Structure 1
Amino acid sequence: MLDANHRRNRLAYQGLATLLEHAGLADHAHYLNWGYHSDCPDRDQACHRIADHEPNHSQARLVLEIIGKTPLDGKRIMDIGCGRGGALALLQRFYAPTQLIGIDISPSNIAYCRQQHQGRRLRFQLGDACRLPHPDNSVDVVLNMESSGAYSDLPAFFEQMQRILAPRGYFCFSDVIDQNSLPLLQEALSLCGLELQQHRSVRQEVLASRRRASPHLWRRLQQVLAELDNPSLHAELQQYLAHPDSPLFAALEEGRADYIIQHWRKSTRRAQPIGPALQEALRQRGQRLEQVQQPRQTRPPTPRPAPPAERGGSWLPLSHPATQARPGHCNLFALPYAGGGASVYRDWTSASAHWSLHPLQLPGHENRLAEAAHVDMDKLVQQLAAVLQPYVQQPWALLGCSLGGKIAFELARHFSAQGTPPQHLIVLACPAPSVPVRQALSHLPPAQFAHAVAQLGGTPADILQHADMMQTVMPALRSDSQLAEHYCCASDCSIDAPITLFYAEDDHLVTPEQALQWRNHTRGRFSAHAVAGGHFFLRQQRPQLLACIDQLLSSPWKEEITHA
């Protein structure tokens, strides 16, 4: 029996062809994917570029991002769930494969593909992904994009895919998925004898593409849906196309679902059967995705400045900044590294009358463990901005360590746009905000994630060795990892405030080259100071750092105020 998610996709497949035909778009809609848009070239992995003026360019970009650096020349390629054939036509344009085969369960899709896409090496077949008619070891590269959610028997698809793949063949996979289903998929593919080569989240890039979709296109589709007078089709297609008003779009935007790209490769290991329990869990994937699309019972309200009696509160647990300006005095707001809380700065005290330190406590950390940690930078910055709003009419500055440095930078950008920028941005052990995270951890199963956290350092040994304590802090660590992995700004993003960087040449996580790129993100002064002590040098070098900060925030204030 098909679950609700499978029925939704089948209905969408049947209705989409009708919709496109009535809208006069049938001859132009070569792709059914959600597209990819990025303002951070460092995050892109496609080997070929698509000009922005080309039709369907964001959808074509997503195809090339999913392929990445997978070698296709001289290969036999199969697109399972080929839709309207645009992906294979695009690969034929940029590569020289020996064979391109498109498989789809929709007769209307296959009829369209055969009419629109011609090529000696290109052919399209009606077929079921869970019962492929092709011989063993007959395909070098399998592409499966935004299609697996419609399969009634996902374990059977994985086994079929493994069967037809040639030795050392490639499986390029992308889809929307909830976090609980991700380790199940990975376990099943590993049992099938595949090795994970790469995992990427492109949730933000896909959301950006959906937001940029032409409003004229949405209006035309809405008009045709109204003419067809089919309310259920209207709801299903809104969901299938990830319209910004759909529950699925909201789940992606809030981090309850993710859009992933994975590259697998068939190994020499002998495949093992997928056990009954795992098979049943995989078959419930659609139900889990349905659940994360349900609106939360108590969704957080839109952030707004708190009334005076509540100002600060849990966000500023260790101090109470003055709201009235004092001559020559600066409030320095500090953000911790990933997994850390306000207590990181508990012992950071200054005898100077020129500045005072105010550590910020993020949801999901320390005394706020009961709250959900943020995985979306924009939403976190909105809430932090509401907290800081009462204090930005007087001299203020930001300090951030590692991930905290990137959050601080986005806060500086927010207030710069409002005309109340910080007087200074101080970053510690942090790569420039345009440097993407290369090693994704947030998707790992619990045991592998805990091992990776131990390798990174920074988590006390007594916590790492205590299972209950690790279970307590794990959600915050995983959420912070996801927040970092999904964030990357453009290389030309900059602020007017001066930036001072502290970095360690022996940092095993951030190279000096990555750190020194901060100079590209300020239109003001930039200074950099090398210290010893590895990535977490803020612990050993506290006296030296406090002395430097005191110098930065004492004498410069008078000069900057004088020139204002």
Structure 2
Amino acid sequence: MVALREWLFRIWYWYVSNVDKKGEVLFMNYGYSNPEMPVSLNAEDIPNKYSAQLYHLIGSATDLKGKDIVEVGCGRGGGLSYIVNTFSPATALGVDLNKRAAKFCSKHHNKQGLSFAQGDAQDLSFIADGSFDAIINVESSHRYPRMDLFLKEVHRVLRPGGYFLYTDFRYDHEMTELKQQLAATGMVIHKEIMITDNVVQALEADDQRKRVLVKKLAPRLIHKVALNFAGTIGSKTYNQFATHKYEYYHFVMQKN
């Protein structure tokens, strides 16, 4: 199942990388909606406000100011760029398996202290032990064939006292295994919150914008596939979240 999802996502990322020449797709997460969470957005982030709010949830979990951070699975870079603008880390590195994504990010997110590189989440050997104060991983790990290898790399790359800021979804029957894998890292779990309903609210609020974007970027032949990846209302992906067949969690963990 994971291998199939990975294959489908690779195809989709490849397609987006080839057609989105103007950089209209800067976030590739399902978003987060919470009226009680105040978020101040720059003009560039307003079209992607629900996706940005998911990163605000992550970034506000601990003090990132002046810290060295890395996002593994940075995608199109919009999320890490938002973190840099909002929470002022000293340095920020974005890593993505897709070479085109890393190249796109380097071109479109030119900020002091922000850099991007191609790399495998399950083998971050180009990063030295204890290099970062925080590791961010947003809606990416469901694609990893070996989650256990990724978590070993997380523990290795974090400095003592460093934070793993993690959010992703799984099928409901996969959540027990995921929680066992997280517990096996030996890191302290400070926060564990199911945010599935907040994600559904974001999908509903952002539905029309995504439909317009799909119509603009994707040929009619693959509209249905694109709408499903976007999680538009009525799609299989949306229904999986709405019925909690997919469960979406947010974790804040700390290395001893």
CA distance in 2, matches of 1:216, 1:263: 30
What TM-score do you get using the length of structure 2 for normalisation?
0.90
**Superposition map of 1:211-360 within 5 A:** 211-213=204-206, 215=208, 217-222=210-215, 224-227=217-220, 229=221, 231=222, 234-267=223-256
Report if aligned partners of 1:33, 1:59 keep a CA contact under 8 Å in 2.
yes
Q: Does 1:30 align with 2:26?
A: yes
Q: Does 1:72 align with 2:64?
A: yes
Which structure has the higher relative contact order (CA within 8 Å, separation 6+)? 2
CA distance in 1, matches of 2:108, 2:207: 24
CA distance in 1, matches of 2:207, 2:181: 39
Residue identity over aligned pairs, in percent, reads 23
Q: How many residues align?
A: 254
Structure 1 ranges of 4+ moved more than 6 A: none
Residue of structure 2 aligned with 1:55, choices 47, 54, 73: 47
Report if aligned partners of 2:163, 2:253 keep a CA contact under 8 Å in 1.
yes
Q: Does 1:164 align with 2:153?
A: no
- Of stretches 205-214 and 135-144 in structure 1, the one that deviates more from structure 2 is 205-214
Amino acid at match of 1:145: V
CA distance in 2, matches of 1:57, 1:87: 11
CA distance in 2, matches of 1:198, 1:238: 32
CA-CA distance at 1:151 after TM superposition: 1.1
CA distance in 1, matches of 2:74, 2:97: 9
1:128 aligned residue: 120
CA-CA distance at 1:15 after TM superposition: 1.6
Identify the structure with the greater strand proportion. 2
* CA-atom RMSD in angstroms: 2.2
CA distance in 2, matches of 1:181, 1:198: 19
Amino acid at match of 2:159: A
CA-CA distance at 1:78 after TM superposition: 0.4
2:88 aligned residue: 96
Q: Does 1:153 align with 2:146?
A: yes
Unpaired runs of at least 5, structure 2: none
**Superposition map of 1:121-520 within 5 A:** 121-132=113-124, 133-213=126-206, 215=208, 217-222=210-215, 224-227=217-220, 229=221, 231=222, 234-267=223-256
CA distance in 1, matches of 2:210, 2:3: 30
Structure (1 or 2) with the larger CA radius of gyration = 1
CA-CA distance at 1:220 after TM superposition: 4.4
Amino acid at match of 1:71: D
CA distance in 1, matches of 2:87, 2:46: 18
CA-CA distance at 1:235 after TM superposition: 4.7
Q: 1:121 to 1:224 in 2, by over 3 A?
A: closer
1:49-94 CA-partner distances (Å, limit 9, x unpaired): 3379823122111100122331101211000000111122112212
Report if aligned partners of 2:2, 2:143 keep a CA contact under 8 Å in 1.
no
Unpaired runs of at least 5, structure 1: 268-564
CA distance in 2, matches of 1:11, 1:88: 23
- Of stretches 235-244 and 99-108 in structure 1, the one that deviates more from structure 2 is 235-244
Q: 1:123 to 1:20 in 2, by over 3 A?
A: same
Report if aligned partners of 1:16, 1:237 keep a CA contact under 8 Å in 2.
no
